[in-house]
Structure 1
Amino acid sequence: MVNSRSEQVRYDLAVIGAGPAGLAAADAAAGLGLRVALVDAGAGLGGQYYRHPAPELGAARPDRLHHGWRTFAELRERLAAAPLVDHLAGHHVWAAERGEDWTLHATRGPEAADRAIVTARCLLLATGAYERQLPFPGWTLPGVVTAGGAQAMLKSGLVLPGRRIVVAGSGPLLLAAASSLAAAGARIPAIVEATAYLGYARGLPVLAGNPAKLAEGAEHAARLLRHGVRLRRRSAVVEAHGTDRITGVTVARLDARWKPVPGTERRIDCDALAVGHGLVPQIDLAVELGADTVTTADGTAALRVDAQQRTSVPGLWAAGEACGVGGADLALAEGVLAAHSVAGKPAPARELTVRRRRRSFAALMAAAHAPGPDWTGWVTDDTDVCRCEEVPARAVREAVTELGAADARTVKLLTRAGMGWCQGRMCGPAVACLSGGPVGRPDSRPLSCPVPLAQLAQQDGTTGLSE
């Protein structure tokens, strides 16, 4: 694969994202005779799920940090030998235009100094997801990281965020993260899960149709049991303590609506906290293009796609977490299905079966771990909700009660919450909940990531974007 011909080649398909869905789609599309541009912001293949150490770190067994490493290794090997696939690494796509073909605008190079343009007949979004954070007092302390962030540090850098790590939040990522951290030598005094896992009991037929998921969960549970890790269900970290760095957390029991139960608080000493409450589909580009969305069972917005992975926008497909969080197996299957749809070929039966079963499991999982409405009870007025702009919860609440704001957009205009570097990815769900409005669909933005001003100004004085 090469990455120097993007502006001279008209591709049949441009795939944005080189995680499981993107890799599977590029591999399948090339096998069907399509010329493919695999566009990704990372330096190497794999995305967040298949994140792995750089070769210079000399990791002898990177596969030990992953489920499904063999699948990734096989995909990487086939793509490396595929003459029809160009891997455009380090390309941050900030806008997409639809004309006779799709035109992608991206920054690339050290410090995103250069601009790249990619042209393709069809476009597939395999942009994955990012973690949902629910703020609490002390969540900005050094040593507090996301659950996925802790895994990323281990997978890519072979380092731990601490030696005594509390893992907290909600969702199956907690078990995977704690299992990996414990295997790497960290001590995990507790996994603090906000739900009681009872939601899964309502979907026994779905569980029976996904034995691999049950086996994966059992593997994590067995490893954690061997390391003596305790699972505290229906509980949450309601405060992190420390000055220069986190030194401990306060954990409280939650009622059915996720309101902390007075008198149940307990302190746990630690030097790191890995916390997250599930994942949010990354759909900024599609929203700007006008693609329809659906609200999933845990309140997040995902792209609406048909049986062939087509969005409501002609020529635009989506696969994987952008269509609703469901794991790597689902993303791989949807990538293959999307490639066949683009090529005008019949959908493979195996991938159709995997998608049906895994999508059912994804819906069950989302419902089981949906945040309760009263989690805001642990957010004090002094708690920073928007980290980038340092906006405390008090300002958000005053915007609602005193200035009449009824939704997150109005709160943002009044307080600047969500106007910082992350553009609301970290604080968006929390601000929406505190404002009393739905989390829903993200705001439409003409630029999906930060862009140097020099790249917006062509030599002829135009931006290069359609009016």
Structure 2
Amino acid sequence: MHAVTGDDGDDGDGDGERPVRITARALLLATGAHERHLPFPGWTLPGVVGAGGAQAMLKSDLVLPGRRVAVAGSGPLLLAVASSLAAAGARVPAVVEASGYLGYARRPRALAADPRKLAEGAAHAAALLRHRVRLLTRSAVTAAHGTRRVEAVTVTRLGPDWRPLNGTSRRIRCDALAVGHGLVPQTDLATTLGCATRRTADGSFALLLDDDLETTVRGVWAAGESAGIGGERVALAEGELAARAIARRLRHVATVTPALRRRRARLRAFADAMTAVHAPGPGWTGWLTDATEVCRCEEVTAGRIREAVRDLGARDARTVKLLTRAGMGWCQGRTCGQAVARLAAPDGLPTAPERRPLAVPVTLGTLAALDDGAP
């Protein structure tokens, strides 16, 4: 097995990149995830940041995205972000959760499988009460307003399918918005190698793995978020399980213990329940106007994508990309991909991610620097 990667070391030309060839008998992919962004009018205003981005700003640089920060989207990350922002001195007027939390009550076995998550949730809820942060469920930020930066957001109640309910909108004043709708598995490298994927409960795609976490391509294993969103503890358990499986295959040493398999299964059960509870409903596209930019890199609006589907016969994200350039920008669809796929799918279910020759943008110089014996 061969792989080409980049080297962060500076070789004198100033760009700090050069191709490096790696040969291995086994490959373990732990490529993580990226935030799911669902566009809405005004989401390109300065001051609108990803929920994970806001947390990263606070943890790494001790910087707040604003003084009065609304937190919105869906998923347990919102509670952690809001409590961290409030503890750091930001005023958080509301946490706007598009789903509810009653869905967890319908999955008692999954809840019992990971009581630590319940304790974490209770701690965040207590922090929000202490800082007097309102929790608005079954609601979403459907528009952001401002001139030079965000000054207020419109919050609207949602129906069961996330469709905005008429007559339920209200404005909340803020100078920043941290918004995110969960995470999406990063499968670019694996699908490039031909690994098969499976659809998860929230409509995204994760890698299809066997009991030893080996993909459908022999010799390629995966662990963590690329196998399905689960968090740090799931990733650690899966990393150990996959490493032991690889060692058994290559060296005939180290066994995968039943206790490790049970721990991984228990943690995955809660993670899968979490994914299902916070799955985006198809009605969220109802808060998009035709003028709303969906692909920020190429400035492609929802109206152009709808035209491609309605008038030009597009039925998937790839065709929409060819007709509108949506997803052709620097992020290569990581920001807009989920939204474009949802708008393009006639049945509301995005198709599996396409196989690409390159996982990330590379320069022609990098490709030219590869030796001629590349397989």
Name the TM-score class by shorter chain. over 0.9
Indicate conservation of the 8 Å contact 1:126/1:322, yes or no.
Answer: yes
Indicate conservation of the 8 Å contact 2:19/2:369, yes or no.
Answer: no
Alignment of 1:134-283 (within 5 A): 134-283=38-187
2:126 alignment partner AA: A
Is residue 104 from structure 1 mapped to residue 13 from structure 2 by the alignment? no
Distance (whole Å) between structure 2 residues aligned to residue 172 and residue 118 of structure 1 = 38
Please give the secondary structure, in 2, of the residue aligned with 1:317.
strand
Map of 2:214 onto structure 1: 310
Please give the secondary structure, in 2, of the residue aligned with 1:108.
coil
Q: CA deviation at 1:316?
A: 0.5
Indicate conservation of the 8 Å contact 1:387/1:427, yes or no.
Answer: yes
Task: List per-residue Cα deviations over 1:407-466 (Å, max 9, x = no partner).
Answer: 111111000000000101111110111112432422211111111211100376x4x643
Indicate conservation of the 8 Å contact 1:104/1:119, yes or no.
Answer: no
Q: CA deviation at 1:314?
A: 1.0
- The number of residue pairs the alignment matches comes to 364
Is residue 457 from structure 1 mapped to residue 368 from structure 2 by the alignment? yes
Distance (whole Å) between structure 2 residues aligned to residue 439 and residue 119 of structure 1 = 35
Map of 1:389 onto structure 2: 298
Map of 1:424 onto structure 2: 333
Q: CA deviation at 1:107?
A: 4.5
Distance (whole Å) between structure 2 residues aligned to residue 244 and residue 432 of structure 1 = 30
Distance (whole Å) between structure 2 residues aligned to residue 191 and residue 257 of structure 1 = 20
Q: CA deviation at 1:104?
A: 3.2
Q: CA deviation at 1:195?
A: 0.7
Distance (whole Å) between structure 2 residues aligned to residue 343 and residue 163 of structure 1 = 51
Q: CA deviation at 1:348?
A: 3.3
Q: CA deviation at 1:112?
A: 4.3
Map of 1:297 onto structure 2: 201
Please give the secondary structure, in 2, of the residue aligned with 1:359.
helix
Distance (whole Å) between structure 2 residues aligned to residue 367 and residue 379 of structure 1 = 24
Distance (whole Å) between structure 2 residues aligned to residue 218 and residue 465 of structure 1 = 54
Distance (whole Å) between structure 1 residues aligned to residue 258 and residue 127 of structure 2 = 35
Moved more, 286-295 or 111-120: 111-120
> Cα distance 1:459–1:281, how it changes in 2: closer, same or farther (>3 A)?
closer
Map of 1:378 onto structure 2: 287
Please give the secondary structure, in 2, of the residue aligned with 1:307.
coil
Please give the secondary structure, in 2, of the residue aligned with 1:218.
helix
Map of 1:47 onto structure 2: none
Indicate conservation of the 8 Å contact 2:151/2:174, yes or no.
Answer: yes
Please give the secondary structure, in 1, of the residue aligned with 2:230.
coil
Indicate conservation of the 8 Å contact 1:108/1:115, yes or no.
Answer: no
Map of 2:251 onto structure 1: none
Task: List per-residue Cα deviations over 1:95-132 (Å, max 9, x = no partner).
Answer: xxx3xxx3333243464432222332211000100000
2:123 alignment partner AA: E
Map of 1:340 onto structure 2: 244
Map of 1:446 onto structure 2: 357
Distance (whole Å) between structure 1 residues aligned to residue 83 and residue 263 of structure 2 = 26
Distance (whole Å) between structure 1 residues aligned to residue 246 and residue 272 of structure 2 = 26
Q: CA deviation at 1:223?
A: 1.1
2:3 alignment partner AA: T
2:357 alignment partner AA: P
Distance (whole Å) between structure 1 residues aligned to residue 220 and residue 237 of structure 2 = 18
Distance (whole Å) between structure 2 residues aligned to residue 358 and residue 336 of structure 1 = 14
> Cα distance 1:252–1:465, how it changes in 2: closer, same or farther (>3 A)?
farther
Indicate conservation of the 8 Å contact 1:257/1:373, yes or no.
Answer: yes
Distance (whole Å) between structure 2 residues aligned to residue 175 and residue 354 of structure 1 = 25
1:323 alignment partner AA: A
Distance (whole Å) between structure 1 residues aligned to residue 229 and residue 369 of structure 2 = 38
Indicate conservation of the 8 Å contact 1:252/1:261, yes or no.
Answer: yes
Q: Which of these residues, 329, 336, 359, is aligned with residue 233 of structure 2?
A: 329
**TM-score normalised to the size of structure 1?**
0.76
RMSD after superposition: 1.4
Distance (whole Å) between structure 2 residues aligned to residue 411 and residue 375 of structure 1 = 19
Map of 1:364 onto structure 2: 273
1:425 alignment partner AA: R
> Cα distance 1:459–1:429, how it changes in 2: closer, same or farther (>3 A)?
closer
Distance (whole Å) between structure 1 residues aligned to residue 263 and residue 128 of structure 2 = 28
Distance (whole Å) between structure 2 residues aligned to residue 209 and residue 253 of structure 1 = 32
Indicate conservation of the 8 Å contact 1:113/1:452, yes or no.
Answer: no
2:332 alignment partner AA: Q
> Cα distance 1:459–1:262, how it changes in 2: closer, same or farther (>3 A)?
closer
